[in-house]
Amino acid sequence: MLEFINNTKFRNYWMLTICALVLCCGCADDDDGTNADIVQFPRISAVNSSSSEQDGVAKAIVKLSWAYTQPVSVDYFIAELDETASAVSDEDFTPLSGNLVFAPGETQKEIEVAVVDDSVAEPDEQLRIVISNAILGEIISSTGIITILNDDEGFFVDNSGPDSPTEYPGLSLVWSDEFDSEEINGDNWTHEIGGSGWGNQELQYYTNNPANSFQAATDSNSYLIIEAREEQISSNQYTSARMITMDKQEFQYGRVDIRAKMPLGRGIWPALWMLGADFQEVGWPICGEIDIMELVGHQPSLIYGTAHYGNSPSDRDSKGSNSFLSGATYADQFHVYSIIWAENSIKWLRDGVQYHQLTPADITPYEWPFNSPSFFIFNVAVGGIWPGSPDETTTFPQRMIVDYIRVFQ
């Protein structure tokens, strides 16, 4: 064997063969006809795409820069964006992961992601595709944004349930919000922002994001929607909205009717209530608080009407009652939550039927703080001392849907 290898003629032939192979590999032509210095693989990109919600699927797209002669593969996963108000996994879309293989000659692959086609008029939502671990390819763009285009021109709501009159003997309608404009009326409402627990160890961050509070219309009606969502802002794991009429719409005495449908689930805490207009001057509870309606989501058939009063946060009291809905929940239909408020008297009603009344004699020895103007507050809290935290049975989003608020005097 050594003699054979050392044979000069064969050695020269073998060296020429190797040189030819090297030159062949080094002189491969690119598509543009120029000589490439090295053998190149196609470049792989996750690209941005958009799909209509009503299609029921969103398409994630991955592309090659050119067709290759061998199979090219890459791993992928579909997930939420790390941004507020993105599409929510298992709520707006079904997450998935896997491996894509481009057959020889292919330059584009599409992945169908199942999305929920609801009837809620809401902002467009986004998710992402992320690719990694390419074989016979070079990743140059690892993330693509998938936009779900909301195409709901209307808003489906089951409007069934009790309603209230538009007039009462001896009373005039002095203010109402029927929520029939395209946007929340800034002449009536202000959003409160923040996530400090709100004195009750609540878990949500209140926003003015249109994903948390918006108005929507059906063919026959219009509504205000306050939506609690499972999404993180800062250290808060949930978002929601809290809207007030302070310095805009404040009233002393009258009949208040609010027609609304409640959310439900452990840790969900919707409220329609009032605070004294002197809240910023004297503080709570001296200003007085009238809870027209509160509900804790693990008791969806029970609402509470309560008044809070006192001399200081450490010297205070409250009195209230509740109204039980037999065989149904307050999330099933709309109901009308009312107070009839007069000097030295407050009555609470559900669907026109009184279930609680309070007078100054009932709160002795505390002073009666309810003979001065108050403003309205609508909110959906998540967690807190009273309802506790959401658990594995709680689903999101949860929505309080308000048909109208009317004040008669």
Catalytic residues: 289, 294
Tell me whether the omega of the peptide bond preceding residue 71 falls within 30 degrees of 0, making it cis.
no
CA 311 and chain centroid, separation? 38
| Phi, psi (degrees; rounded to nearest 5) at 238 | -135, 155
Q: How far apart are the first and last CA of the chain?
A: 115
Provide CB contacts within 8 A for 53, sequence distance 6+: 115, 116, 117, 118, 148, 149, 150, 151, 152
Whether the Cβ atoms of residue 306 and residue 291 lie closer than 8 Å to each other: yes
R_g of the chain computed on alpha carbons: 32
CB-based contacts of 6, cutoff 8 Å, min separation 6: none
Residues 6+ apart with CB under 8 A from 71: 101, 102, 103, 104, 136
Number of helices (H), then strands (E), in the chain: 3, 27
33-58 burial, b at 16+ Cβ within 10 Å, e below that, comes to: eeeeeeeebbebbbebbebebeeebb
Q: Strand 222-228 to strand 250-251: parallel, antiparallel, or no bridges (unpaired)?
A: unpaired
Q: How far apart are CA 318 and CA 374, in angstroms?
A: 17
